[in-house]
Structure 1
Amino acid sequence: MTGARTTIYGIQYLRALAALGVVIFHAAERTGHHFAIGAAGVDVFFVISGFIMWVISERRPVSPLAFLRDRIQRIAPIYWLATAVMVVGGLAGLFPNLVLGNAHVLASLLFVPMRSPSSGEIWPVLVQGWTLNYEMFFYAVFAAALLLPRSRRLLAIAGCFSALVAIGFAVDSDSALFVTYTRPIILEFVAGMIVAECWLRHRIPGALSSLALVAIALSGFVALAVLRLPFDEFILGPLAVMLVLGTLGLEAQGWFRPRRLPMLLGDASYSIYLWHTFAISVVVKACGMMGIRPLTSALLAAVAGTALGVFAYLLIEKPLTKRLRSGFFSRPVEHRA
């Protein structure tokens, strides 16, 4: 790392890229286009999450309870607000395909996986909140691991998640909890932690190797998108790890600078992720009524979704998070990592 600097600019750039990928994926999906690879932004987010949690636990030792309180304050209020908008909109008839159930709404708010009465799939009320169920589960396991000596934490979490994945392959169950928390995708958090340990020990690839890793990862994503090949976490996970590791290698070589737009998009990535679908729905519907071509509609929807997320970050997330954290912690490094 460079001196006492806590900002990892490359991670901010990756956050921005991952958020935009998800936005474009949903905009394309709503307009009949194909950009399924944009959903790989989730895999990048999971690797980054594992990386950040491991790094901040090293930089700022914290108790399990304080860690969980910090994570809940960071994640939950904005998500609850976005979920409330969905519920109110559903009750008002704005989302005709949304079927609300008390148990499902409560499970969504508590980050508990449950099958949606709308589709039977394991989705919360705000569909993109499915990733937060994984995040909160990871945080709970990570908090428990903080009770162990540092030298045993990574092995304990890796062992726990590997065992869950192995059980998932060995046992057949339709339980929403079982299906969710035995998916191999949870290993992406572990991979991020391993990358973080390499970063902390200064065992990051050099410039040429890092360039190769980034090139392979991006080429892999492009190939999957262009050729429309099937993919899952067994393919996306390694590509995401290579992208993060390569980016960190370039970071160590001073390749990244704090450019205003990507830094803003990186900071706002959580709000972009949560709020973009609202703007996309409105724009796509309006474009359809005006007879605007699907490709133009998709572009406008992506821009609107990103803009709404940025505004939500500046007007809601940033001031609310600052107020909630006052008195507990100073500004955490994960906002700037």
Structure 2
Amino acid sequence: MQGASAQSVTRIRPEIQALRALAVVGTITYHTWPGYIPGGDAGVDVFFVVSGFLITGMLVREVDRTGRISFRRFYERRVRRLLPAAYAVIAFSVIMTLTFVPRIQWSYFFHEMMMAALGIENWSELVNSQSTNPVLRDLPPTPVLHYWSLGVEEQFYLVWPALILLTVWLVRRSRRKGQGFRTQLRWVFGVVAIGSFIDCVIATYGNVNLGYFAPNARAWELAVGGLLALTPGLGRLPMRARVVLGWAGLAAIVGTYLLVWDQHHFPGWYALFPVAGAVAVIAGGTPVNRWSPAYLAQWAPIQSFGDASYSIYLWHWPIIFLFPFVSGRPTPWWGVLMLIVLGVAVGFVSKRWIEDPLRTGTRARVTARDEGVTRAEHDPAHT
């Protein structure tokens, strides 16, 4: 068992890394040229599905091995994975604000940075958008606006392990023969997914910000990823079916990026397309076939981009957003291109020198080996 665990630590799922790369490319392009890729922010929806898939798989396998979930180890992994780079970007934003941003905006910017550091930036954005005060409703963006998605995921991390463990406890208490906890989890996740999706659609059409920022309206995307992790036999699908799933999934995601123009009703039911696309790509895997998208997904630059996607996501927005404060004028298109390149480069540096040392230090490697998790599971996607 130890040998299998040791091997599994180094296994990477190329299709998941490719999804991460596609998700962050869509998000960056949307933040810079929304007119050309109006649905690019659906990259966040892809990230949510990937996170739900990986986190659920990791937790369920831990229950299979030990019969329980170690909350201490789970949250230690999340802290190592998410907080070092996130706090580094916040620190950078604080320094740049003090140096270049007019003092009149400091209070608002620093308030949002504090909310981002606490993992509740999504709630801050939601409260501001719902305010009866028109000044609050029309507040401009901040360097940490994109931390709303981290808030949704961190709130998901607070609930998901407890929900899985509660289901395990109820199954054991019920004494039903022949019904494992995985079967019951599918029912639980299904109820969460359906209820949250209905809430998302209703909320979006009532108030787009409520559907966009509220974690209850986004939970269905993470729950769908969890359901996928509990679906047996995906690896036994026929080769042609897996090839078709891979291409169809990519088409659904790219199509959403290019064709969803109605931002006033997103996510809503439109989010079904990127979510279904992410599910299809993961279900298709990396079949060995000359017509398979796996050959594209396994291309080294795509894999590297996906591997650094979290840091790239964190750094790209404050760099692009704060530069006009530095230069004192709007950024021309060629300047935006240079800032994107800079953001990507800083993202790779951040991964190498901030993320990795704390995430893959000696203690983290020992924990991963002992728990038998794959690299993709130990390095779960963020937004």
* TM-score, scaled to structure 1: 0.78
Task: Please give the root-mean-square deviation of Cα atoms over the aligned residues, in Å.
Answer: 3.9
The whole-number CA distance in structure 2 between the counterparts of 1:199 and 1:98 is 52
SS at match of 1:159: helix
1:1-80 equivalence runs, <5 A: 6-28=11-33, 33-61=35-63, 62-80=69-87
Give yes or no for the alignment of 1:82 onto 2:115.
Answer: no
Shift of 1:187: 0.9
User: CA 1:167 to 1:224, structure 2 compared with 1: closer, same or farther past 3 Å?
Assistant: closer
Secondary structure of 2:188's aligned partner: helix
SS across alignment from 1:88: helix
Distance 2:227 2:193 in 1: 14
CA distance in 1, matches of 2:62, 2:156: 19
Could you tell me which residue of structure 1 aligns to residue 376 of structure 2? Answer: 333
- Cα distance, 1:46 vs structure 2: 0.7
Structure 1 partner of 2:274: 240
1:38-92 CA distances to partner (integer Å, 9 max, x unpaired)?
2111011111111111222244444233222222221122212211222232233
Q: 1:262 to 1:217 in 2, by over 3 A?
A: same
Structure 2: gaps (5+ residues): 1-6, 64-68, 129-134, 169-180
What SS is found at the alignment partner of 1:56? Answer: helix
The question of whether the paired residues in 1 share the 8 Å contact of 2:23 and 2:46 is answered with: yes
Distance (Å, rounded) in 2 between the aligned partners of 1:141 and 1:336: 17
C-alpha distance in 2 between matches for 1:128 and 1:263? 23
What's the % identity of the aligned pairs? 23
Which residue in 1 is equivalent to 2:188? 156
1:198 to 231, 235, 254: 231
Written as runs of structure 1 = structure 2, the 5 A alignment for 1:274-313 is 274-281=314-321, 294-313=332-351
Confirm whether residue 271 of structure 1 aligns to residue 314 of structure 2: no
Q: How many residues align?
A: 326
CA distance in 1, matches of 2:192, 2:280: 27
Which residue of 2 is the match for residue 260 of structure 1? 300
Distance 2:142 2:25 in 1: 22
Is 1:94 equivalent to 2:101 in the alignment? yes
Give per-residue Cα distances to partners, 1:80-138, cap 9 Å, x unaligned.
22112222322334376553477654432221222488955798861111001110111
Select the structure that is richer in helix: 2
Matches within 5 A, 1:226-237: 228-230=261-263, 231-237=265-271
In 2, distance between residues paired with 1:282 and 1:179?
A: 23
Matched residues in 2 for 1:58 and 1:198: separation? 12
Shift in Å, 1:27:
2.3
Change (3 A) 1:69 1:146: farther
The equivalent residue for 2:219 is 186
Match of 2:131 in 1: none
Measured after TM superposition, the shift of residue 253 of structure 1 is 1.7
126-135 or 86-95: bigger deviation: 86-95
Q: 1:63 to 1:214 in 2, by over 3 A?
A: same
Secondary structure, aligned partner of 1:78 = helix
SS in 1 for 2:124: coil
Q: Is residue 207 from structure 1 mapped to residue 242 from structure 2 by the alignment?
A: yes
Give 1:240's aligned amino acid: P
One-letter identity of the residue aligned with 2:97: G
- For 1:118-133, list aligned pairs within 5 A: 120=137, 126-133=144-151
Task: Work out which of the two has the higher radius of gyration on C-alpha atoms and give 1 or 2.
Answer: 2
What is the TM-score of this pair, normalised by structure 2? 0.70
The separation in 1 between residues aligned to 2:272 and 2:376, in whole angstroms, is 26
For 2:342 and 2:78, the matched residues in 1 are separated by 28
* CA 296–142 in structure 1, closer or farther in 2 if over 3 Å, else same: same
The question of whether the paired residues in 2 share the 8 Å contact of 1:20 and 1:306 is answered with no
Q: What is the rounded CA distance, in whole Å, between the counterparts of 2:303 and 2:246 in structure 1?
A: 21
CA contact (8 A) 2:189 2:226 kept: no
Return the letter of the residue paired with 1:16. Answer: A
Question: SS at the partner of 2:226?
Answer: helix
**DSSP-derived class of the 1:35 partner:** coil
Give the deviation of 1:308 after TM superposition: 1.9
**CA deviations over 1:151-189 (Å, ceiling 9, x no partner):** 23343344356556667859x99x999962332x22111
Q: What SS is found at the alignment partner of 1:198?
A: coil
Farther-moved stretch of structure 1 (267-276 vs 257-266)? 257-266
Shift of residue 20 of structure 1? 1.4
- Note if 1:107 corresponds to 2:109: no
